[in-house]
Structure formats: C-alpha cells, structure tokens
Amino acid sequence: MARRFAEITFTPSVVAAQTLYGSRTSNQRFEVIEEDGDPLGEAEARFIEARDGFYQATVNEEGWPYVQFRGGPAGFLKVLDAKTIGYADFRGNIQYLSVGNMNANDRVSLILMDYANRRRLKIWARARIVHTQQNPELLAQLEVPDYKARVERAVVLTVEAADWNCPQHITPRFTMAEIEAIAASQDPPERI
Ligand SMILES: Cc1cc2nc3c(=O)[nH]c(=O)nc-3n(C[C@H](O)[C@H](O)[C@H](O)COP(=O)(O)O)c2cc1C
C-alpha cells in the first residue's frame, strides 16, 4: 500500500519538506510502486486481530487532531474484509470527542503497536458510526463476549492505506500474558 499511502500523505508541504531535507528523490519511489488493490493482506489482518489496543487520531472542525487510545481483549479490532475493519466502541467518559470528530470529518489515522516484537502498522481510513438498531448483526459480530464494557456503537473503518513502520526506537514491552507465556516456556532453575 505504499503508493496509496504516499498519495494520502505526500501533500505539497510534505513534498516541500522532503525537498528541503534532501529526501525527495528517495521518497519518490513510493509514488510509482505497483499495487494490487486491497489495502489489507494476510500479514496485516493477522497483526490487526492480535492487537489489544491501538491509538486513533481524528480531526475536529477546527483542524485540531485528537489522539485517543482504544483498548480491549486481543482481537477486539476485527478485520471484516480486505479493506474494512471495525470495533465495538465502549462507553467511556461520555465526552464523545472521537465520535463527534468522526461525524464532522470521517478521516482517521491509527497506529497499532506490537511492543514485544517491535512492530507497528499505520492505517488511514474513513470512519462510519453504526448503531445497534441500524445493523444488529454487525454489532453482534463486533461484540466482545465476557468483557466488562458497555458497547455503545460500532465504528467501521474503510481502510484507504496501510503501511508498516520500521522497529527503530520502539522499546520492547511485554504484557502480563506475554511474560507468563515466556516464563512458562523456560526450564525451571536446577536445584543444587
Ligand atoms: C468513568 C470514566 C471516566 C474517565 N475519565 C477519563 C478522563 O478524565 N480522561 C481521559 O482521557 N479518559 C477518561 N476515561 C477513558 C475514556 O472514557 C476513554 O478513553 C474513551 O475511549 C474516551 O473516548 P473519547 O476521548 O473519544 O471521547 C474515563 C473512562 C471512564 C469509564
């Protein structure tokens, strides 16, 4: 998805910055990469469905970006097809900043982190809010069984581009579940 990613992000001011700092030529290769259409392949789908959280940026009417964390059990962000992902939006502090922003401007940007393996995926998408009465089947599909949260709506994201970032500067971090899995796989220390 490097070409679509470049189409979205390489705005005139970004191109000017690339020119100023001498990276314009190396970045131009992204603009001519052959693409096969679907933004999400198998690697992206597996990565997305293994996440237990992500950072989501929205934009308000004034042009201010707003980043908020969305979390849940691993797999709560679901791949619906090769260009659509979605999640059940839980009740929170009832300020509705992200939802309100999405209603004004459907553009969102996500960063999905895998700290343990030092990987991250960036996603650009168009957001659509869906309430239970509009599509109960979709809400049922996105619901997270046995998780203590009240689902208020579904957020469906039509992915326009996805791009992997390099591992540079990601400090490895591990969840309790990952630490327990590592500990369980270690041989116990020998008794003297
Ligand atoms: C009772 C309650 C209080 C919360 N208070 C805050 C808060 O003061 N600041 C904050 O950033 N998040 C708070 N949260 C978490 C947010 O509600 C949650 O991150 C939510 O997704 C925010 O969505 P929004 O920023 O898109 O409106 C609270 C959650 C609950 C359930």
pLDDT tens for residues 92-148?
999 999 999 999 999 999 999 999 999 999 999 999 999 999 999 999 999 999 999
192 domain-assigned: no
CATH number, domain of 160, equals: 2.30.110.10
Question: Based on the domain organization, do 67 and 111 belong to the same domain?
Answer: yes
Q: Is the CB of 97 under 6 A from ligand 1?
A: yes
Question: Based on the domain organization, do 57 and 141 belong to the same domain?
Answer: yes
* Residues 4-19, mean pLDDT to the nearest whole number: 96
For residue 39, count other CB atoms closer than 10 A to its CB. 22
Question: Based on the domain organization, do 33 and 68 belong to the same domain?
Answer: no
Question: Based on the domain organization, do 16 and 43 belong to the same domain?
Answer: no
The contacts of residue 13 (CB under 8 Å, 6+ apart) are none
Residue 8 pLDDT > 70: yes
Question: Based on the domain organization, do 57 and 131 belong to the same domain?
Answer: yes
pTM of the entire predicted model? 0.92
Cα-to-centroid distance, 68 and ligand 1 (Å)? 9
Question: Based on the domain organization, do 47 and 102 belong to the same domain?
Answer: yes
By CB atoms closer than 10 A (0-12, 13-18, 19+), residue 118 is middle
Q: Whose CA is nearest to atom 26 of ligand 1?
A: 98
Question: Based on the domain organization, do 84 and 106 belong to the same domain?
Answer: yes
188 domain-assigned: no
Question: Based on the domain organization, do 135 and 62 belong to the same domain?
Answer: yes
189 domain-assigned: no
Find the domain containing 84 and state its range: 38-183
Length of the chain measured in residues? 192
Question: Based on the domain organization, do 47 and 32 belong to the same domain?
Answer: no
Q: Domain tally for the chain?
A: 2
- How far apart are alpha carbons 192 and 154 in whole angstroms? 57
Q: Is the CB of 133 under 6 A from ligand 1?
A: no
Question: Based on the domain organization, do 24 and 6 belong to the same domain?
Answer: yes
Q: Whose CA is nearest to atom 28 of ligand 1?
A: 93
- How far apart are alpha carbons 127 and 107 in whole angstroms? 6
pLDDT (0 to 100) of residue 129: 98
Q: Is the CB of 33 under 6 A from ligand 1?
A: no
Is 123 within 8 Å of 109 (Cβ atoms)? yes
Residue 190 pLDDT > 80: no
Question: Based on the domain organization, do 108 and 160 belong to the same domain?
Answer: yes
190 domain-assigned: no
Which residue, 139, 34, 157, is CA-closest to 88? 139
Question: Based on the domain organization, do 47 and 23 belong to the same domain?
Answer: no
